[in-house]
Structure 1
Amino acid sequence: MSIQESIHADVIPAIGAELAGGKLITLYMLAGVEFALIDLGAGAEIQGAWGEYGQDVETTHGDGEKNTRAMAEAGSTIAIQALEAGAFIPSALECHLLMHAKETGVIEHLREDRFYWSSSQYSADYAYCVDFEGGWQDLSGKVSERPARLVRKIPVIR
């Protein structure tokens, strides 16, 4: 599948509509660029460890795509799987945007019995995870096995 590289603001579908192999859940700004955030759904979830204890990976709370690339360069199996799927593991911010989409009925089928990985590191030993039952953010040891919900983002051209 060829992944759309950008979208013009005049042709953005409604929130909840199909876009780039998933569902458009929101528009958001990141470092001065507007993006369309696309949820790839429950069928695209992956499971695994975030990475290794003691390995410091430079990540942010905002840019999951950049974070996932840094994770993959550090050898993270789930990050490599995400990138091979043409997707990424959402950052802590992007996980909360997923939670908002769930609360507003835009997306369904986010497991409520587990914490999902974000691509945002807390420390060399821990990374942030989010519970989609209530939107709680917590820390987990990087070697823990957790699901990751895959997303895409497309720059919006205005």
Structure 2
Amino acid sequence: MPAAAQTAPAVNIPEIGQPYGGGFFSGITRDPETGKRYLNITAGAEHELVGAWGEYGVKIKGADSFTNGRANTEAMAAAGSELAQQVLALRIGGHDDWAIPARDQQELQYRHFKPTTEANWQYGRSGDNPNSEPVGLLHTEESPAQTALEAFQEDGVEAFRPRAYWSSTQRSADGAFLLGFEAGLQYYYGKFYELRVRPVRRFLQ
């Protein structure tokens, strides 16, 4: 068989914000261990959930990935997180592999779907994303700008609320990473806080 015939067909990369895979295409991440590239899909606004991340003071094994939200979410659910269990039960657009986004998956959501015109936080490592393509850089006051996608702009039908959203990436026994969608602060909160979640899924390119 010719070599060309043995090559798997390439996956066409959609435009950012294009309806795709049960949601909207939100960018590319690479697994830091394997180097494999993944397309990331963000669910529509109607599928957002609210809840506590998990039990304060409990370190959950397997919930520390910056790129694999599904693995994190499964570990959270196994440890009793009701929020993670709700996300795993979702079936959207015929797909049932949704997850709470890992930190670097979530950064893509803000980078491409920022709802507001607020100046960005320039604090800590907000915006730093070594596992995305292209690599994410520290926020400046102007970058990223408000998304050009009207549906995702503030008060749009798919817009993120201008408040904090959980990621599935654990920081410690007491806290997990979050991202504030009003101005892009990436920090961590106590796991007992009830924050929003916008589910994601990913698949190999």
Q: 2: distance between equivalents of 1:61 and 1:73?
A: 19
Q: Are 1:78 and 2:121 counterparts?
A: no
Higher helix share: 1
Deviation per CA, 1:66-112: give whole Å up to 9, x if none. Answer: 11111111111111111111210011111111011114435611111
Q: What TM-score results when the alignment is normalised by the length of structure 1?
A: 0.86
Aligned length: 149
Residue 49 of structure 1 aligns with an amino acid whose one-letter code is A
Residue 73 of structure 1 aligns with an amino acid whose one-letter code is A
Specify the SS of the correspondent of 2:54: coil
Q: Percent identity?
A: 38
Residue 74 of structure 2 aligns with an amino acid whose one-letter code is R
Deviation at 1:118, TM superposition (A): 0.6
Contact residue 49 and residue 197 of structure 2 kept, 8 A: yes
Q: 2: distance between equivalents of 1:44 and 1:24?
A: 16
Q: What TM-score results when the alignment is normalised by the length of structure 2?
A: 0.68
Deviation at 1:18, TM superposition (A): 1.4
Q: Any residues of structure 2 matched to 1:83-122 within 5 Å, and which? A: 83-85=88-90, 86=96, 87-103=98-114, 104-106=147-149, 108=152, 109-112=159-162, 114-122=163-171
Contact residue 40 and residue 200 of structure 2 kept, 8 A: yes
Q: 2: distance between equivalents of 1:42 and 1:95?
A: 14
Q: 1: distance between equivalents of 2:9 and 2:58?
A: 39
Q: Are 1:149 and 2:154 counterparts?
A: no
Q: Are 1:69 and 2:74 counterparts?
A: yes
Contact residue 99 and residue 199 of structure 2 kept, 8 A: yes
Q: Residue in 2 aligned with 1:15?
A: 16
- Please identify the structure whose Cα radius of gyration is greater: 2
2:174 to 113, 125, 134: 125
Q: Report the CA distance shift for 1:135/1:9 in structure 2 as closer, same or farther (over 3 A).
A: farther
RMSD: 1.8
Residue 36 of structure 1 aligns with an amino acid whose one-letter code is L
